[in-house]
Structure 1
Amino acid sequence: MTQDVADMNFEQALLALEDIVHKLESGEAPLDESIALYERGNELRALCQQRLDTAKARIEAIVQGPDGSPTGTTTFGAG
């Protein structure tokens, strides 16, 4: 049974996405299955991006002082 994407944590979603990418790149899935895999992969990608954006916002909140001014520097890669 396939786990609902919304119930996955970041690591589970990333592993599932990596598995889908492998299957699609290998060409081992027929067309209809490939389309379904691509759709699920897109859902997983969106979930991972949302979780990363949430983590980034939390980190930014941690490095800001009570008045909103930065208390340190944090560099994030281009997304």
Structure 2
Amino acid sequence: MARAPKSAATFETALAQLEEIIHAMESGDMPLESALSSYKQGTELIKFCQAKLADAEQQLKILENEELKPLDLPDAG
């Protein structure tokens, strides 16, 4: 499994860090070296999040007897 980059210990923390990086990069005011560093950190965060999601999916498969079922949500309206 991928290690948590820097201080990202949870999926939610990593996702928040990734959103911060995206916002900073989209501003267009970031120097090239910072942009490259942020891009690298962002790719590490993406890998971490993907691994966490894959783990969660595997756990759901186990809970559902090895068959991932669609989530049926009740109608909100």
The normalised TM-score by structure 1 is 0.75
Ranges in structure 2 where 5+ consecutive residues have no aligned partner:
72-77
The normalised TM-score by structure 2 is 0.77
For 2:43 and 2:70, the matched residues in 1 are separated by 27
For 2:9 and 2:26, the matched residues in 1 are separated by 23
Moved over 6 A (4+): none
Match of 1:75, SS state, is: coil
Please give the root-mean-square deviation of Cα atoms over the aligned residues, in Å.
2.0
Ranges in structure 1 where 5+ consecutive residues have no aligned partner:
none
Match of 1:29, SS state, is: coil
Identity %: 31
- Number of aligned residues: 67
